[in-house]
Amino acid sequence: MFEALLSVAITTAVLLGSPGPAPLALAATGASQGVKKGFPFLAGILAGLLVAVIFAATGVAGLLVSHPQVTLMLKWLAAAYLIYVAYKIAANNAALGSAGVQLPSFKDGFILNLLNPKAYAACIAIFATASVPASSNLVATLLAASVCYVVAIVVDTIWLALGGVIFKTLKDETVLKRIRVSFALTLVVLVLYGLFVV
């Protein structure tokens, strides 16, 4: 059983930890105002991911993805929302560590992953390849879902912390602004790539 759960953990780390909309938005948020102020956004992303994990584990996500119109609608909604989050990150003109900054919030993170087709596709792939030996299918699914979610928490926290390292080490506001804009532009490029190439 250990090998099967390790396989789920590695697959999750690769699929959810690779640079994509949520990880880049987390890094940009950490780089904007530090890790502590990015925790609400991280919590929202993880809450939205929990919905994707539950949908994938119960087969609901598979039903959604099997309807091309639903997939296309989710893709466009996610793209629009991700571009909004990228704008919010790039438009942050606050001084270092200042209060009242309009950073991405819990709600922003939740909606981002709730509408993120990559989250659903990754979770479907994880559950499609997971064969955890257990006393029942329910136990196997719960074990795989738990490992998947714990790994996602670790991976997403690492992305936020990487942004936090940038925030702590670079105290030049002009450089930080360029980094935020670079993260935001990279996020937009990924969104456009996902819309028109993939």
Model pTM score: 0.83
Q: What are the Cα distances from residue 144, in Å, to 30, 124, 196?
A: 29, 12, 32
> pLDDT grade, residue 168 (50/70/90)?
confident
- Predicted pLDDT at 148: 92
Residues in Cβ contact with 106 at an 8 Å cutoff, skipping those fewer than 6 apart: 40, 41, 43, 44, 47
For residue 151, which of 25, 23, 12 has the smallest C-alpha distance? 12
Percentage of the chain exceeding pLDDT 70: 94
Q: What is the pLDDT of residue 133?
A: 80
Task: Give pLDDT, residue 100.
Answer: 56
pLDDT in tens, 98-148: 555 577 899 999 998 888 877 888 888 887 777 778 788 888 888 889 999
